[in-house]
Amino acid sequence: MASTSTAKAPLQAVDVFGQHVVLQLKLFRSRFSACTATPPLFVAMQGPQGSGKTTVTRTLAQYLKSSGVSVGVLSTDDLYHTHQNLRRVAGENPTNPLLSGRGQPGTHDVQLGTQTLEQVYAINSPLPNDERASIRLPVFDKSLFHGEGDRAPLSDASPTLTAPLDVFILEGWSMGFSPITLAEVEAKRNASGPHSPLQRYSLDALLQINRNLEAYKAWYARFSVFLQIRPTDLSNVYVWRTQQEHAMKAGNGGQGMSDDGVRA
């Protein structure tokens, strides 16, 4: 997997990421013969919540399109469980506040994600009568149920990818995360400062999230490129995430999470 990361201001990172993706696309295409349908190059974008990764991803997509590259984009946020299943997960884990709402590993519909990625990977495969394949992408509406959110039904208004597709970008704050050992989790928690978010949760709660990461490894096999936005100060993440929620609520009549809900 080719990877690159940057601590630059988000929009300043677009040129770095764009040049990297264009190069990797050329290398990726060289692996396929001229008579074989080339699947899209899968690109993962990772950055903490509120770090600007969604804006960077959209701007990167425009950068690539201006270079003649067709691009599809999806957020892991759109792969959350339905509201009903999110409540089920919370009910099954009453002692773990990390699973009381959406966001953490364990709150996504991993099967839906796997199915969606398989469909996207095969989108360029030939169809009868020279038809072009198209895929409707899932959407999670965060404003529903007072900010708890729910998956929107697929419809003609759903975002759609159409072949031929050159690049597919999946962005999410935990993209690429894999489980570590119990000893590593315990050591990281013990080494963290008294005001660290790790100290707000029990070791058992953290270990459960760590175990949940195992299921996501099924997604990563398709990805050839990994991009990362690294904040210079992780304490900014909650501030950015709160600002992000305020902006959404300002545009939809106040439907969204409370500040306490963001920090929970």
The amino acid that residue 188 corresponds to is K
pLDDT tens sequence across 96-124: 999 999 999 999 999 999 999 999 999 99
Query: Helical H runs in 100-233?
Result: 110-121, 182-191, 203-212, 217-220
Please, what's the b/e burial string for 203-222 (b: 16 or more CB within 10 A of its CB; e: otherwise)?
Answer: eebbbbbbebbebbeebbeb
Q: Enter the tokens of residue 226.
A: 């990994």
What is the number of residues in the chain? 264
C-alpha dist (Å) from residue 160 to 74, 116, 123, 254: 10, 12, 12, 28
- Give me the tens of pLDDT residue by residue for the chain, a chain 264 residues long: 666 666 666 667 899 999 999 999 999 999 998 888 999 999 999 998 877 888 999 999 999 999 999 999 999 999 999 999 999 999 999 999 999 999 999 999 999 999 999 999 999 999 888 789 999 999 999 999 999 999 999 999 999 999 999 999 999 999 999 999 999 999 999 999 888 989 999 999 999 999 999 999 999 999 999 999 987 665 555 554 565 555 555 655 666 556 565 555
Where do the domains of the chain lie? 2-180+219-258
Residue 241 CB neighbour total at 10 angstroms: 20
- How far is residue 264's CA from residue 8's CA, in Å, rounded to a whole number? 28
Say which residues have a Cβ less than 8 Å from residue 117's Cβ, sequence separation at least 6. 42, 170, 219, 222
Distance in angstroms (rounded) separating the CA atoms of residues 102 and 80: 7
What kind of architecture, by CATH, is found in domain 2-180+219-258? 3-Layer(aba) Sandwich (3.40)
Cα 102 to chain centroid, rounded: 13
For residue 243, which of 99, 103, 49, 9 has the smallest C-alpha distance? 49
pTM for this entry: 0.86
